[in-house]
Amino acid sequence: MAASKRVGFAVVGLGHIAEPAILPAFRHSKKSRLVALVSGDEAKAKRLARQFGAEDFFSTEDFAFCLSHPRVEAVFIATANQPHAHLTECAAAAGKHVLCEKPMATSVDGCLAMIRACRANDVRLMIAYRKYFEPASLALKRLVESGKLGRLKFMHSAFSFVLRPREKGTDWHLDRMLSGGGALVDVGVYAVNTARWLTGLDPVEASGYTWTADPERFDQVEENISFRLNFPGGLVLQATASYGAAKASFLQISGEKGWAALNPAFAYDDERRLFGKIQGRWFEKRFRVIDEFRVELDAFADCVRRKREPAPNGVEGLKDVVVMQTIYRAVRESRAVAVSYPPVPAR
pLDDT digits over 301-314, tens only? 999 999 999 999 99
In the structure, what pLDDT confidence band is assigned to residue 252 with cuts at 50, 70 and 90? very high
pLDDT at 2 over 70: no
Its domain, for residue 49, covers 3-130+293-312
* Strand, coil or helix: 186: helix
* Number of neighbouring beta carbons within 10 Å of residue 178: 18
Q: Residues 76, 105: one domain? A: yes
The answer to the question of residue 31 being in a domain is yes
Q: Residues 280, 300: one domain? A: no
The answer to the question of residue 284 being in a domain is yes
Q: Which residues contact 284 (CB under 8 A, 6 or more apart)?
A: 273, 274, 275
Q: Residues 115, 246: one domain? A: no
Integer CA distances (angstroms), 289 to 233, 266, 268, 269, 285, in order: 35, 12, 7, 6, 13
Q: Residues 154, 284: one domain? A: yes
* Strand, coil or helix: 286: strand
Question: Considering the chain, what percentage of its residues have pLDDT values greater than 90?
Answer: 96
Beta bridge partners of 262: 251, 274
Residue 38 near residue 54, CB atoms below 8 Å: no
Rounded to the nearest 5 percent, the helix, strand and coil shares of the chain are 40, 30, 35
CA 50 – CA 36 distance, rounded (Å): 10
Number of domains the chain is built from: 2
The answer to the question of residue 318 being in a domain is no
In the structure, what pLDDT confidence band is assigned to residue 1 with cuts at 50, 70 and 90? very low
In the structure, what pLDDT confidence band is assigned to residue 4 with cuts at 50, 70 and 90? low
Q: Residues 43, 148: one domain? A: no
Residue 165 near residue 196, CB atoms below 8 Å: no
Least-confidence region, from 1-15, 188-202, 211-225, 323-337: 1-15
Q: Residues 151, 194: one domain? A: yes
The answer to the question of residue 217 being in a domain is yes
Query: 156: domain CATH number?
Result: 3.30.360.10
49-95 pLDDT, tens per residue?
Answer: 999 999 999 999 999 999 999 999 999 999 999 999 999 999 999 99
Q: Which residues contact 39 (CB under 8 A, 6 or more apart)?
A: 12, 13, 14, 45, 48, 57, 58, 59, 60
Q: What is the mean pLDDT of the chain?
A: 96
Phi and psi, residue 297, nearest 5°: -60, -45
Question: Considering the chain, what percentage of its residues have pLDDT values greater than 70?
Answer: 99
Q: Residues 282, 302: one domain? A: no
The answer to the question of residue 141 being in a domain is yes
Residue 87 near residue 12, CB atoms below 8 Å: yes
Q: Residues 197, 67: one domain? A: no
Task: Give me the mean pLDDT over the 196-209 stretch.
Answer: 98
- What is the CA angle 71-76-81, rounded to 5? 145
In the structure, what pLDDT confidence band is assigned to residue 167 with cuts at 50, 70 and 90? confident
Handedness of CA 212, 189, 196, 336 (dihedral sign): positive
E strand intervals along the chain = 7-12, 32-39, 56-59, 74-77, 97-100, 125-127, 152-162, 205-211, 224-230, 236-242, 244-255, 258-263, 272-278, 281-287, 337-338
* Strand, coil or helix: 36: strand
Boundary residue ending a domain (257, 274, 289): 289
In the structure, what pLDDT confidence band is assigned to residue 168 with cuts at 50, 70 and 90? confident
Q: What is the pLDDT of residue 347?
A: 72
The answer to the question of residue 325 being in a domain is no
The answer to the question of residue 151 being in a domain is yes
Residue 81 near residue 178, CB atoms below 8 Å: yes
The answer to the question of residue 58 being in a domain is yes
Q: Residues 176, 307: one domain? A: no
In the structure, what pLDDT confidence band is assigned to residue 296 with cuts at 50, 70 and 90? very high
Query: 62: domain CATH number?
Result: 3.40.50.720
Task: Give me the mean pLDDT over the 328-346 stretch.
Answer: 95
